[in-house]
Amino acid sequence: MTCCEGWTSCNGFSLLVLLILGIVLNAIPLILNFVDEGKVFHNPISCFEWWFPGIIGAGVMVIPATTMSLAARKRACCNNRTGMFLSSLLNVITVIGAVYCMLVSILALSEGPLICNSQENSTFNCEFSFKNLSDIDPDSFNLQWFFSESCVAPPDFDNLTINGVTASDWIKHTLSFDTEENKHRVIHFSVFLGLLLVGILELLFGLSQMAIGFLGCLCGVTKRRSRIV
């Protein structure tokens, strides 16, 4: 196996692990929602799992490049210039999917779970539009909904005051499943932070394979010579 094939095979295995992880993470809030409520569209944790950043972006869109890259382990598709070129080309789809997964995850982390944004915890209040992805403002990005003692507005909203939260208070009130709010906050934060990391890693592996595939296409790959008996 040549250097190009070895790196391609490593990328393929890494992408396989990441795409499985992305699908599992995306499925967690969907499964928990179904288990808790027995209904698919009732009382969701957030709107963003229904954009399928892990299933589509970090999952389905990564499959072609992963399949092509894993073929290098058997010295098949990638053992020629055309194969390396196709391996590089298919990773363009991987990069697009990874960027999509990252953008949706960032938007989800910025907005917080649905319970922190609406008293009517229903998907009817969700706007499924790709335009929202372009509305991400880095200056306004914060995790106040997660680090605050509670993100649900009290009945007397006019008397709401924001107090400083110590580390012990944050651990006590946030990192626990003692209430439905905390459960949704922890699951939402964990899922989309994980998807953000998956997207970043897939982006790096995709870009590296585009580079090594382009190099292999230019320089070619070396086949082992058959032994003459």
Residue 57 is predicted with a pLDDT of 94
Residue 134 is predicted with a pLDDT of 66
- pLDDT, average across residues 7-25: 92
Residue 225 has pLDDT above 50, yes or no: no
- pLDDT, average across residues 114-134: 62
Residue 181 is predicted with a pLDDT of 78
Of the pLDDT bands very low, low, confident and very high (cuts 50, 70, 90), residue 87 is: confident
Least confident of 35-44, 181-190, 210-219: 35-44
Kindly report the three-state secondary structure assignment for every residue of the chain: CCHHHHHHHHHHHHHHHHHHHHHHHHHHHHHHHHHHHCCCCECCCCCHHHHCHHHHHCCHHHHHHHHHHHHHHHCCCCCCHHHHHHHHHHHHHHHHHHHHHHHHHHHHHHHCCHHHCCCCCEHHHCCCCHHHHHHCCHHHCCCHHHHCCCCCCCCCHHHCCCCCCCHHHHHHHCCCCCCHHHHHHHHHHHHHHHHHHHHHHHHHHHHHHHHHHHHHHHHCCCCCCCCCC
- pLDDT, average across residues 50-61: 93
Calculate the average pLDDT of the chain: 75
**Spans of all domains in the chain:** 3-149+165-219
- pLDDT, average across residues 51-56: 93
More confident residue, 212 or 208: 208
More confident residue, 209 or 226: 209
Residue 198 is predicted with a pLDDT of 97
pTM check: above 0.85: no
- pLDDT, average across residues 196-205: 97
Report pLDDT digits (tens) over 127-144.
656 666 666 666 656 677
